[in-house]
Amino acid sequence: SQQGEEDPQALSIQEGENATMNCSYKTSINNLQWYRQNSGRGLVHLILIRSNEREKHSGRLRVTLDTSKKSSSLLITASRAADTASYFCATDDDMRFGAGTRLTVKP
């Protein structure tokens, strides 16, 4: 079974709003990664956060990691229609993916 599980399964917001999605995992990790998948395409790596980091930023993306709760969150600020995609998390210990969060940003 996969290590990372994303929630919610689906999220629909208006352009300009922030989107937050969460990932939970089961065992200790070295790193956690977030990926995006546009419909019909391969996954694209967004950001990696190491187990000794608590927060990381990349443009409009903000990722947090709470190893005590075995969870991570991905925040997309000032969302755009182009952010519409599925988002997945995965850990280095187990490169399996959950069902993902399907984000829809309405213009």
Partner 1 sequence: DAGVIQSPRHEVTEMGQEVTLRCKPISGHNSLFWYRQTMMRGLELLIYFNNNVPIDDSGMPEDRFSAKMPNASFSTLKIQPSEPRDSAVYFCASSLMASGSYEQYFGPGTRLTVT
Q: Which residues bind partner 1 (CB under 8 A)?
A: 30-31, 33, 35, 40-45, 48, 88, 92, 95-100
Strand 5-7's sheet: what is its strand order?
5-7, 19-24, 71-76, 61-66, 55-58
Pairing relationship of beta strands 61-66 and 71-76 according to DSSP bridges: antiparallel
Q: How far apart are CA 83 and CA 57, in angstroms?
A: 16
Q: Please state the closest distance from residue 48 (CB atom) to partner 1, in A.
A: 6
Q: Please state the closest distance from residue 25 (CB atom) to partner 1, in A.
A: 14
**CB closer to partner 1, 89 vs 105:** 89
**CB closer to partner 1, 12 vs 30:** 30
Q: Are 84 and 22 in contact (CB under 8 A)?
A: no
Q: Please state the closest distance from residue 80 (CB atom) to partner 1, in A.
A: 22
